[in-house]
Amino acid sequence: MNQLFTKSGIKEALEKKPPHLFWWRRWAKRAATGALLSDDPAVTGGEGTHVLLMKRAEREGDPWSGDMSFPGGRMDPGDVKIYTTVLREYEEEVGFDLTSGADYLGRLPDTQARPIAWNRKPFVVATFVFWQTAIPHFKPDPTEVADLVWLPLDFLADRANRQTMVWKRKDMEVELPCYWYGEYRLWGLTLRMLDELMVVIGV
> Tell me, what's the pLDDT at 175?
92
What is the number of H-type helices and E-type strands within the chain?
Answer: 6, 11
User: What's residue 172's pLDDT?
Assistant: 83
CB 1 within 8 A of CB 49: yes
pLDDT for res 109: 96
Longest dimension (CA), the chain: 49
Position 89 scores a pLDDT of 97
Q: What is the per-residue pLDDT for 81?
A: 97
Q: What is the mean pLDDT of residues 88-108?
A: 98
How wide is the angle at C-alpha 69 spanned by C-alphas 194 and 58, nearest 5°?
155
The whole-number pLDDT of residue 171 equals 80
Residue 4, phi then psi, degrees to nearest 5:
-70, -25
DSSP assignment string, 10-21 = HHHHHHHSPPP-
Residues 81, 32 contacting (CB under 8 angstroms): no
Q: Which range in 14-23, 53-62, 168-177 is most confidently predicted, on average pLDDT?
A: 14-23
Confidence category of residue 156, pLDDT binned at 50, 70, 90: very high
Look at residue 118 and tell me whether its pLDDT is greater than 60.
Answer: no
Give CA 124 to chain center in angstroms.
13
Give the pLDDT band (50/70/90) at residue 65. confident
pLDDT at 1 over 70: no
Alpha carbons within 13 A on the beta-carbon side of 188: 15
Per-residue pLDDT, 169: 75
Reported pTM? 0.94
pLDDT at 158: 95
Residues 6+ apart with CB under 8 A from 121: 27, 28, 29
pLDDT band at 58 (very low <50, low <70, confident <90, very high): confident
Q: Identify the structural domains of the chain with CATH numbers, from first to last.
A: 3-153 (3.90.79.10)
Q: Which pLDDT belongs to residue 64?
A: 66
